[in-house]
Structures are given as structure tokens and as C-alpha cells.
Amino acid sequence: MSALVLDGCAIVTMDGRRAEFGSGHLVIDGNRIVAVGQGSAPASQNYAAARRVDASGCLATPGLVNTHHHLYQWASRGMAADSALFGWLTELYPVWARLDAGLVRDAAAGALAWLARTGCSTTTDHHYLFPRQGGDVLRATIDAARAIGLRFHPTRGSMDLGASAGGLPPDDVVESLDEILAATQCAIEEFHDPAPDAMLRMAVAPCSPFSVSTGLLTAAADLARRHHVRLHTHLAETADEDEYCAEHFGKSPVEYLDSLGWLGPDVWLAHAVHLTDSAISRIAATGTGVAHCPTSNGRLGSGICRTRALLDAGVSVGLGVDGAASNEESSLHSEVRQAVLMARASGGAEAMTVRQALELATIGGARVLGREAEIGSLEPGKLADVALWRLDTVAHAGCADPVAALVLGSRPPLEMLLVNGVPVVEQDRLVTADEDQIAAAAGRASTALAGPAQGPAGLPQDRRLSR
Ligand SMILES: [Zn+2]
């Protein structure tokens, strides 16, 4: 790693003062930011040999932080296109039962490449499907993230409540409690890096109240806390889930997790759409974080997260693309735009500013993952995760406010994405891996996963031919 100077760009720092610079500089040494400010970078003997980038016409923001994803779903996009969550899951579980490590690696590479191309420098992954003959699928996602170069927070997910035991998934896609706990412990011991500049941190993530047993939720929380890693799950996503929890536990989803000692500052919840005022108070009081996934919530017709109420209560909120099977676009840039639009559509024009939306995708997401001291803002001493967006093309040139251009406009070309000081994207192309090869492999993975009864696009034969 060497020194790099970005000069002449607008800068949104997301630091404690929310400082912005109309035409500023950013100096990076190794994997850290060493200077940021207005005007040209000061001349320094220390950086005489630095690479200098003329960043005029661009906006620098912190690299975006994605707090919820299922990378493997990149190979099952476009299926159950008009279904709600439970019907969508029921159609897709048998498809996902065919996953193996090779398919997961190719799918994950596609998802990660697109995240990088759309400004995301840190992503989590919630992987909860481990087919018996599928090989080491968790390692496959980690290999893909290392190859692309994103900062990665994989979770060892799990499901142990098959249909015969009252759960939603078919029995052949769930594991036993003992298998899950042993594999989760191994994954933490092998992969988790607690260092302050870590490129990989593990978390523990039972899938959802309707696919895991109470015993698994309790044991998973205990395991995570013994190993000082974070806890994650889907919660309060749909009205169907509310009904399921009322019927099986006599509680709301939040009351159910709370009764198991699950809520806390080491926990973040995906979705959190169906929340009462008292549930929001409880999430806030326990310091629990939320991954807001507006596109997926819209795609599945799940509802609209009460982001304004969560933020007013002091809850840490980040954004998530969710899996590509319920968000075919899977771009965190789009989630920023969707977050503003959904908040305003339900709560009025004051419900969220464009800067607050960008905040959710940067320092907000960093907080949700427990990394606000290291990433999520552009300040001296922080890790060099930077997105440099080009705002001088026909799509954005002349837009009065660069933040409004980024948040409300279409996705700008990404001039550069730095992760840990290393260029991952330059001039809107991935530079750490071959995009065309990734696309071809992801296409083959989708065909294989669609199965023998399906065509290349995953469509039944008659629909493919009738176009
Ligand atoms: Zn999800």
C-alpha cells in the first residue's frame, strides 16, 4: 500500500460535525486517512511520491456499508417475482437446496462485484443454507470477498426448524442444533478477526423466528457472547410473521426475542418493519441496531419500516440491500434513494433529509456493525474506505447540491472505490477481478441452480418460448 491524494472533489465527511467541503482534498497513507479538508492538499515531503488523482467533478463520500445481504441469492434472481415473503420462500427453498460451494462462490462473486461497483466498501452476509452435500459454502463466500477486496462481515446463519416441527422451511434444508453450534464455533475460531483494521469479522445469525427453534436462538446468543461476536437475525418483517409469533409464542416478534435475552448493543435486526411504539422503545433502550431494507420490503410487499420513529428514539439504523432474490438490483446506492422516498411517502417531506439517508448508508451502517470508530466517515485516523462518485456527466452535471445529486439522482459512475486504501473500482470498472468472467460464472450458477426442469433464465419452457 502506498500514499494517495484525491484533489479537487466535493467531500461529505459524515464526521461528528458533518463537515462538507465544496472543493477539497483527501490524503491517504497505507490503509488510513491522514488528511481531509478544503482546498488543495498541502504540499508535503512525506507524500512527494504519492499517486495524485484529479478528482474535480467528483464527490467523495465514505464507502457505503451494507448491513444485510444473502450473497448466494445472486444466482436465484427473478423468481417468484410477484409473491409475498412466505410464498416467495416456499417457492425458493427447493431451489436453494441445490446450492453447493462452487455455486455459492460464483453467486457471491457476482453480488460482491456489483456491491463494489455501486459504492459499497463493507458488506455483511447472512448465509443460513448448508445443504448436506454442499461442501464449505461459508468459506466460498469468504474466498469471494477476499478476491474482490471488500471488507466483509459474514455471519454463520442457521435454520433448525423444518416443516415437520412447525417451521416454514422443508426438512431437507435445515440442520440439527448440535451441527449448527459446532460449525458456528469453528467459523468464529477460524475466520473472526477482532483487530481494529480487520477485513473480516464474523457474527452469529439464526435465520428467523419461523425457521429456528427457541433452543437455537438461546444457544446462538450464548455462543456469540462467549466469543464476543455480534448477533443478527431477521425480525418483524411481515404481518405473517406477527401472526406466526402470536400463534406459536403468544408474543410479538420483538417481545419473543426480548424474552430470550436477545436484544442488546451487540445485536442488529434485519427489516424491523412491523413495530409498535413499545417495540421501538425496547429496541432503543437495549441499544439494538436495525438494518433497513426498503427495496426488499417493497418488492415483497412487506410494509414500510418506521425509520423516523426509530431514529427519533435513538436507534442505530443502517441500510441493507437484502438478498438479490428479493432485490434484483442489489445496489446500496438505490437503498439510499429508496430510504428517503419511503420515509417521505409514509411520513411527509420532513421525515428524512437526503443527508440523513446518506448517513444511514455510511456512519449509521458502521454503528450497526459496531465499527463506527474505524469506518463510516472520512476523518484523519479512520480506515481509507472511500467512494468517489463522478457527478459531471450528463446525468448529474449542474445539479445544485452534490448530495441531492447522489441521493435523488440516478447512480453516478464510480470514479474510484477504495477499501482499506486499495483501489477496488476505477473508472466504473472492477480492478481486482475480471467482471466479464464473474458475470459468465454467475450466469452458469443461475442456470445450474434453476434445475433440470427449468430453462436458462429460470423460466418454465413454455414461458421462455412464448415471448
Ligand atoms: Zn434477509
Strand segments (E) across 299-385: 317-319
Q: Considering all CA atoms of the chain, what is the largest pairwise distance in Å, rounded to the nearest integer?
A: 69
64-66 vs 120-127, strand pairing mode: parallel
**C-alpha distances out from residue 437 to 105, 109, 331, 432, 447, Å:** 13, 10, 20, 12, 16
The CA 85 to ligand 1 mean position distance, Å, reads: 10
Which of helix, strand or coil describes residue 57? coil
The CA 374 to ligand 1 mean position distance, Å, reads: 25
The CA 365 to ligand 1 mean position distance, Å, reads: 16
Q: What residues does 9 pair with on adjacent strands? A: 24
The span from the CA of 283 to the CA of 311, in Å, is: 11
Mean pLDDT of 421-439: 98
Supply the pLDDT for residue 463: 43
The CA 234 to ligand 1 mean position distance, Å, reads: 6
The span from the CA of 402 to the CA of 69, in Å, is: 28
The CA 331 to ligand 1 mean position distance, Å, reads: 15
The span from the CA of 283 to the CA of 258, in Å, is: 9
The CA 322 to ligand 1 mean position distance, Å, reads: 5
Contact 282, 252 (CB under 8 A): no
The CA 437 to ligand 1 mean position distance, Å, reads: 27
Supply the pLDDT for residue 46: 77
pTM of the model: 0.95
| In the predicted structure, residue 461 carries a pLDDT above the cut 50 | no
Q: Please choose, from the candidates 235, 361, 256, 207, the residue with its C-alpha nearest in 3D space to the C-alpha of residue 302.
A: 235
Residue ranges in 300-451 assigned as alpha helix (H) = 307-312, 332-347, 354-359, 365-368, 402-408, 435-450
The span from the CA of 10 to the CA of 395, in Å, is: 17
| In the predicted structure, residue 382 carries a pLDDT above the cut 80 | yes
Which pLDDT band holds residue 454 (cuts at 50, 70, 90)?
very low
- Residue 286 half-sphere exposure, CB side, CA atoms within 13 Å? 22
Which pLDDT band holds residue 43 (cuts at 50, 70, 90)?
confident
The CA 127 to ligand 1 mean position distance, Å, reads: 9
- Reported as a single tens digit per residue, the pLDDT across 145-187 is 999 999 999 999 999 999 999 999 999 899 999 999 999 999 9
The CA 303 to ligand 1 mean position distance, Å, reads: 14
The CA 12 to ligand 1 mean position distance, Å, reads: 29
Contact 343, 33 (CB under 8 A): no
Task: Provide CB contacts within 8 A for 466, sequence distance 6+.
Answer: none
**C-alpha distances out from residue 455 to 100, 446, 449, 458, Å:** 20, 10, 11, 5
Q: Which three cell numbers stand for residue 277?
A: 411504539
Q: Which three cell numbers stand for residue 394?
A: 450528463
- Reported as a single tens digit per residue, the pLDDT across 322-339 is 999 999 999 999 999 999
The span from the CA of 456 to the CA of 263, in Å, is: 43
Q: Which three cell numbers stand for residue 5?
A: 491524494
